[in-house]
Chains A and B, each alone.
Chain A
């Protein structure tokens, strides 16, 4: 399949006398926002469902008052944003919001960027007409990062909406406030909508949805970002700085492969220390949602570095002497190109266990499909898909963008989803009623892809052998079912009144045993589900579905049969109407995979760049030569959406960088970013200067950052796929290489707002069986870990973190993600 631009039906609407084009079926508010027209609104988030909490988006459409956030545009619709009655409503609503709202703006973190302040001024509220007795609304900390002040909360429900519709955690909800009832007199004296809104407001507050006072969520902090007032703030940022003092540096979130657009907000560290410090990370929350690592793992810079000439000279010598350079995915495209230059000019081996498997998978995919990269991206899935399939990805941990897209499709597009993974995840099951989760045995990922082929492929296009192979799993069984049938029975009864016998017909329920034939799909059963029930569920799921997408995750790259899996993915793309997106393993894995020719193993003297090695270049501050961390350098990163994105330096760095080493070794241009235009064009990069790269979103949310990689296509025959080994599943104690959410690498670990520990994560039952601390024995070594309960997973598989490079978890797992291990209690 190719990237076909579907021409959406556009309609013409008139707002305040000016004509605009809008997508058919779009909400008026979104259409206005896309066209840069201002309609006041507090509670509505562009990519989430309308909550109708604030009611100030009231507009007049074709003579009728409607809420712009939930009324859809129609051809020729005439919209007036302000009419006298609407202005009166809006002013009354803002007055109501100001009732009992604390007036100590000076000590509020939102002071200066507060939507309540802004709209109070916008609606010219200069006096108050309403009053009610205040209720005690306490200040609580919901988690290690969330701070909630109920007295500042205006219950716009943006936090609950984004948590449910975008993030998927549904960790917070509205709760009872226990406030007084409104004075009856207001019903007559107040504008109607303002009264209704106040009535609802007076009844609710926000609280964790699990009934306790602690949220049990991924701590992504998106609720903090969307809060229009100072009710929800980060515990760390609390009272540290006023927003206007902070300078925003646009950058790319460095840890996951989402490449989300963020702003590092910096100002001097203090009165005595005038070096810049990052105080927080913010985002354009109407266009992009961050995960916890993007928002909270920001202070990983290499501080206090100066130019150490001796170390620099030693580094030059070390690289000259080295046989291998070992690095990971946390590297810019420019630096990756430098390392590739070292390989080309000096014959160094490049070893990158985080990326190599992904690169091989991509190569196999390219050979099989003729396309250099996958066909869709998470943004398009969010906007268009209504059926998503996820295979081989621990959605909650691996790729936040995929998790958000999977969830958003369920909530916003009335979508359905299939989730194939080895670990049962209670969170994903709860994304929607039409989400079917397959918890299959590790090693059966091929079966999952075959099942997708079976369910969705155009059978005409499928090769004969695949068709027969798929058919071989089907069987029909005869089965006896008991059915209840209603029968009419005639009886003769004695009529007591007349004493005569009468014939009466009566309806009687009767159970009948019946022999029926059912078709069963062996693939479904192999993957751990009841075939019949699944067929029923699937029939429901497929109703009114038009756009299908599939997400491919890391399990497939680290599979012994990865090549066959890549071919299967290509075959699915060729024969089914399904778009595919693949999650690059971490950070800039895609950039590294495209730019570097990686080697399979390391040998000899090794220079490690943020990795283990005989000589260590490190941005973590513990190496032989210091390097700048990702928030200290400019450059480009490549993300899951196939975009090359510019990132800027947020804090100062005084030491040497890789480009300085390159100047000594092979000769290099003046600046690191001078390499940007040299990125390989045959891999899809473009010769654009770094300073010419745009970095913004369109009003309609279109991503205009950097540029999209050119996807090279060539004709390719249908790939020949192999059958899979039905007994190829792993048995016994199984370890799975998987990080806790928010942890990706040593840099996230270094950040002071990330608390997730390095350890062995498993379900509650398993953890009880294991005890507090265990030694996990692999074929080639062992590791001792604390056992930590992950209450959202079920089953016996144990997740082992890999974010600490020094622990060498990648070496233990080798080229697989699942390993059979032996557990010894410590």
Chain B
């Protein structure tokens, strides 16, 4: 890879197109003339008409362009990184987290902590899991590194509360079991790309 592009530090001279804006007025008289021209050209009424039209549309035709936040909310991008969610397996309802600790390791603000143990079914069980949202910078690394897509970023961006601990526990982030049918597959950071199948090398099987 050539480093030329990094070495040219004359920012602003490369690929800009200059707009034809005409000449700027030079004398005070010319400036006065331009003000007068713009004031009495009638464009003011064009603007007022747009406002009026939109008001009529909004009030009488039901074409409102703003939302009544917080009663209404706009959908946000799937790549938006808000408070984490812990997903469940759709088939069994068991949480997906296997306790591998990669999120804990990769977290650059060191805000994830977990405890694991050997459970009765000879599996690794996550006995405690917290995220310190006072430190979290919502970088999304945890979702990206998670091999099971168990920890993902959800759309819940309203994180004002009396205590930050309010959403720091595993149970708070976990999809409620009765809302499992509403659980969405995560399309954001760390999710398989649409072309993932094409890039996979198959391992031979003997049976």
Q: What residues of chain A have their CB less than 8 Å away from a CB belonging to chain B?
A: 104-107, 111, 126-133, 139, 180, 183, 235, 238-242, 244-245, 270-271
Contacts and interface: CB of A to CB of B under 8 A. Distances in A.
Interface in B101-146: 101-102, 104-105, 113-118, 122-125, 128, 130
A271 B117 contact: no
Contacts of B206: 131-133, 180, 183
A242 B101 contact: yes
A225 B99 CA distance: 23
Contacts of A133: 206-207
A271 B125 CA distance: 15
B144 to A, nearest CB: 15
Nearest to B119: A239
A393 B77 CA distance: 75
A245 B113 CA distance: 11
Contact of B115 (A104, A105, A126, A270): A270
A interface: dominant SS:
loop
Interface core residue of A180, A242, A245 (most chain B CB under 10 Å): A242
A685 to B, nearest CB: 43
A239 B204 contact: no
B116 A241 contact: yes
A110 to B, nearest CB: 12
Nearest to B129: A271
Contacts of B113: 271
Contacts of A240: 116-118
B104 A245 contact: yes
A239 B100 contact: no
B176 interface: no
Contact of A106 (B117, B147, B207): B147
Given A131-B204, A132-B206, A270-B128, A239 B115 contact: no
Given A131-B204, A235-B118, A240-B118, 15 more contacts: A104-B98, A107-B123, A130-B204, A131-B203, A131-B205, A183-B206, A238-B118, A239-B99, A239-B117, A239-B125, A240-B117, A241-B116, A242-B105, A244-B101, A245-B105
Contact of B203 (A105, A128, A241): A128
A106 B128 CA distance: 17
A108 to B, nearest CB: 9
A310 B128 CA distance: 39
A180 B207 CA distance: 12
A107 B205 contact: no
Given A239-B117, A242-B105, A107 B99 contact: yes
Given A240-B117, A244-B105, A271-B130, A106 B98 contact: yes
A235 to B, nearest CB: 8
Contacts of B116: 239-241
A132 B115 CA distance: 37
6 contacts: A106-B102, A106-B148, A131-B205, A139-B122, A241-B116, A245-B105
Nearest to B127: A270
Contacts of B205: 131
A127 B202 CA distance: 8
A701 to B, nearest CB: 32
A305 B116 CA distance: 27
B121 to A, nearest CB: 11
A113 to B, nearest CB: 13
A238 B203 CA distance: 30
Given A126-B201, A128-B204, A133-B206, A111 B100 contact: yes
Interface core residue of A133, A239, A241 (most chain B CB under 10 Å): A239
A194 B185 CA distance: 43
B203 A107 contact: no
Contacts of A139: 122
B201 A107 contact: no
Nearest to A107: B124
B101 to A, nearest CB: 4
A127 B100 contact: no
Given A106-B147, A128-B204, A239 B124 contact: yes
A431 B38 CA distance: 106
B154 to A, nearest CB: 22
Nearest to A129: B204
Contacts of B124: 107, 239
Contacts of B128: 270-271
B103 to A, nearest CB: 11
B25 to A, nearest CB: 67
Nearest to B203: A128
Contacts of B147: 106
Nearest to B101: A242
A623 B206 CA distance: 65
Nearest to A139: B122
A107 B114 CA distance: 14
Nearest to B201: A127
A238 B205 CA distance: 30
A128 B200 CA distance: 12
Contacts of B114: 271
Question: Which 7 residue pairs of A and B lie closest in terms of their CB atoms, listed nearest first?
Answer: A106-B100, A131-B204, A131-B206, A107-B124, A239-B124, A238-B118, A242-B101
B171 to A, nearest CB: 13
Nearest to B148: A106
Contacts of B101: 106, 242, 244-245
A111 B148 CA distance: 16
Interface core residue of B100, B128, B130 (most chain A CB under 10 Å): B100
A132 B105 CA distance: 35
A107 B96 CA distance: 12
Contacts of A183: 206
A105 B105 CA distance: 15
B193 to A, nearest CB: 18
Nearest to A233: B118
A132 B148 CA distance: 27
Contacts of B123: 107
A105 B124 CA distance: 12
Nearest to B99: A107
Nearest to A241: B116
Contacts of B115: 270-271
A44 B70 CA distance: 67
Interface core residue of B101, B105, B114, B122 (most chain A CB under 10 Å): B101
A238 B124 CA distance: 9
Nearest to A128: B203
A318 to B, nearest CB: 42
A194 to B, nearest CB: 15
Nearest to B116: A239
A753 B114 CA distance: 23
Interface core residue of B123, B124, B147 (most chain A CB under 10 Å): B124
